[in-house]
Chain A
């Protein structure tokens, strides 16, 4: 799909946030009485790929629309490249290349006309505009489609045209809203490769409700549910195996202390109490023997261990853990 690319297969190191390109603080959005986004704070560092993950209706698109200046937040602040998205909206938008969900384009224009139009409204004219169009066309392999009307293009090509317009003004931040929607499996693989390649020269914020998509392209993931940010996790730090425990005890707190004190336990990821006097824990462990240590510590503490399962650590499990298994 793209030329001259050397896509990194994996993200080898744990990402540390350098200069943040995106900073949101206590972001809130109300639609009348309905609160679509609750007090969301996160940062995206320069060069990072952050995946916003959540089921449909979890507030992902609303957050992106606030960041791109399309919607005004009801509370909180957001900054792009240091510019407030409300007070300095125009400056903030200059640093963003945005591909909205469902890739809305002007169907009556040809690809060339559309890119020229988008380039001009992004402030490019004359030879810089022509160079930007040629460069975007080449990066997205759109040469054969240049003079074709956009309404006659397939979904895959429309997606490429939308990404091509986002790249025109060499933005610091690329925002892709559900980019894999409507693509066939081959196009999805090409898109992943493209996002990895774009990430070499841009900071990328990408959303999806498909766990596997985020896992394959993002270095960190922010998990959203019903407008609330449940967690921001580095995928590289998710290398630790996890145990799911079900125990019987009168209260959960002493059990959590026992688990945490067992050798080999990194942290208790989540704890939930059931109505039948049982408690569920998800525990991140550093080594295999931690399972035996936890079992021994619980037995010594007089806690009934009902179930213990080692789980494969992937986003699916992370999402289930964070949402209490209700949302995925």
Chain B
């Protein structure tokens, strides 16, 4: 565990001493803040539901930028060899990189909390969808970071890692669109792989164990396969 903390510190420092984390968070907040303000003045409704969907789509675009360098950068500079020939377990390396990237996503999401504060101060929003919406964003962010990490572990090129992650995320987001046209049981399978289908209940105030289970399964799948990618060299 102490090694994970040490490795996490190294990863977090690399993220927060470079402009990456700040540029990513600032861009996210600029777009979110603009849309939140515009929507609030136009619709005059105390609801964050549209903002959660917008945040989710921004996560699809931004997470690949955070995760693309995780392994690719170390592979390029050769420090990967130094790290993995030290007495560390692959799971420790994977967990540290995962948690450091997730921390950027969590900070990003946490910095939108003032929107909820504004709504509760000047209006009477339904708090249920706000709580579940944030839970949904956190789960979606966790799953996306795990998949981004896996793709980064499979390629030495940052651009390739980012492009593949972006493609996978967008495809998984809208997978259910054409799912209904497929014959059974494929329609069922495709629908249940859709990020949008699993995220929608959270954003609108409903929590289903199946949706939580889906996102946690994706996290475990991403971490386990990342570890396997490191072990089988």
Contact = CB atoms under 8 A, between A and B. Distances in A.
* A interface secondary structure, majority: loop
Given A72-B233, A121-B88, A104 B3 contact: no
B124 interface: no
A72 B229 CA distance: 12
A68 interface: yes
Interface stretch (A9-17, A90-98, A204-212): A90-98
Contacts of B6: 117, 120-121
Nearest to A95: B87
B86 A72 contact: no
Contacts of B10: 106, 117
Contact size range, A = 20 to 34
B87 A94 contact: yes
Contacts of B121: none
Interface in B1-19: 2-3, 6-7, 9-10, 13-14, 17-18
A104 B232 contact: no
Interface in B83-125: 83-89
B17 A108 contact: yes
A118 B18 CA distance: 21
Contact of A105 (B3, B17, B79): B79
Contacts of A93: 85-87
Contact of B81 (A70, A90, A106, A122): A70
A100 B77 CA distance: 12
Given A65-B81, A100-B78, A121 B87 contact: yes
Contacts of B17: 108
A114 to B, nearest CB: 10
Given A106-B10, A121-B6, A121-B7, A100 B84 contact: no
SS of B interface (majority): helix
A285 B114 CA distance: 88
Contacts of B78: 100, 102, 104
Interface residues of B, number: 25
Contacts of A90: 87, 89
A239 interface: no
B82 interface: yes
A324 interface: no
A57 interface: no
A94 B87 CA distance: 5
Interface string A64-79: 0100111110000000
Given A117-B10, A125-B2, A100 B81 contact: yes
A304 interface: no
A90 B3 CA distance: 13
B233 A70 contact: yes
Contact of A120 (B3, B81, B84, B233): B3
A123 B86 CA distance: 10
Contacts of A68: 85
A72 B232 contact: yes
Contacts of B82: 98, 100, 104-105, 118, 165
Residue from A93, A96, A98, A121 having most chain B Cβ neighbours under 10 A: A121
Contacts of B2: 120, 125
Interface string A105-132: 1111000000001101111010000000
B95 to A, nearest CB: 13
A117 B13 CA distance: 12
27 contacts: A65-B85, A70-B81, A71-B233, A72-B232, A90-B87, A90-B89, A93-B85, A96-B85, A98-B85, A100-B78, A100-B85, A102-B78, A104-B79, A105-B79, A106-B14, A108-B13, A108-B18, A120-B2, A120-B3, A121-B3, A121-B7, A121-B86, A121-B88, A122-B86, A123-B87, A125-B2, A169-B87
Q: Which 3 A-B pairs rank lowest in CB-CB distance, beginning with the nearest?
A: A104-B78, A68-B85, A120-B6
Given A69-B85, A70-B85, 15 more contacts: A70-B81, A72-B233, A96-B85, A98-B85, A102-B78, A104-B77, A105-B82, A108-B14, A117-B10, A121-B3, A121-B88, A122-B86, A123-B3, A125-B2, A165-B82
